[in-house]
Structure 1
């Protein structure tokens, strides 16, 4: 590409093979063939391209799997903050192929004019920061005078916290037993989309639906950011999940050269609030990443 392109507030930076946000400066790096696919779509913006045409232009004479193109398209949609259900930017044309919508594209400034911000690294995971307490609220966190009996509410909060920990341990144990149950099978989803994350769905014979598509759609941006954080920290993460009724069993396993950490969660009504689901997964995963041993010598 001889000219710089902006797609839905994201500058396509050919030099680094990444996307740079116009307002925040956030940088999202793409894989070699993901970026090449994006270049081909830009060169044919507004024109429908068949699957065969895209495969030939991007992978040329290489032998690839049937899911290589759909996985690369999915990765681009996640990177561009495109809702896969609506497919506004990169749209799927039934029985035809794909098209990059020209309404979301225009020529933009060079990459030098929009650079990743110094306060937000490209591989940084946005952490939910709690608001700083005001001066008026400061006394609420001061130690209580000696001899003051504990407030009843504290006892109940501690009791609830202990119960939650027990539930997490039990959920992890039950999930381990479910994996060993006959009639169950594990299927890797979104293979090749994330370099350091592996998503595995446990599908049991009596289940009639899969949660993979909904989960990938809702967690796409969070997983993309987490993948960058894991890659920079030289960690990998396996995520095992299955849905039953309105609940989601979500177990993550972090590994690096120095050790491993696991966390099992049972999330109720996970489909009703996408923002809360993303916040929960981001916060708890970041917490476990921070608990990992630092391999730096």
Structure 2
């Protein structure tokens, strides 16, 4: 009786130097040193083996390229369908080496007519034939001879992630970070704009039905605008204008803001069939309120005369 090792549904068949899937029957051939490496890992399942130990046990102190071991590990992961990122079966332990997780190693007994007392370790220590025969199976690319100078890397079975791909992943990561930063800044600016968005406050006017006096707030001029009592300054004038607007079936909105010596007024007149608007900038109006009242009256009447008269 001998034992066969099954890893992730793949049966290690040393006689043919290959892995055989238990369900589909697919056969994947291994190179000489890939097979030796897998046997060593199985023999030491659950143990961390350093690069030096693996080089000694697999390549027997031969001079090999620096990529030979990583390439062989990568080839075994591909053959065993192990995710190179998650590394569930064969794990890379940073600065220590590699380990084959023991939970993935399962052994089954089989009858061997030549030697029914061969042990698991003896089976796994066998050297596979250099030219296994199987005409109908899929074959992994063979390794090149590893008797080479230390500064020459062997041809990889399946290349690790190429530099171009790593660069692409790096750029993708940087793009993701920049996108998050951009969205964060945009959200902050948007919230700030909402908080600073100007809005209008309607000031109370007694005896006025056709006019709304709207003070612009939440602007850099807030303090000065609020210091000036525009309702008191224009109250009598607006009550007089209210009569004219009633006769013409017209409503007027006055938008107001101020700086230290400037009053900004926007007149918006509207009736059932026409609309007029006038922007006024008045300097030093506080020193001459009569002039401001006269100017407001004249400009409103001028705009009323420009409006088409119609029935409400």
Q: With structure 2 as the length reference, what TM-score do the two structures score?
A: 0.39
Point out the structure with max Rg over C-alpha.
2
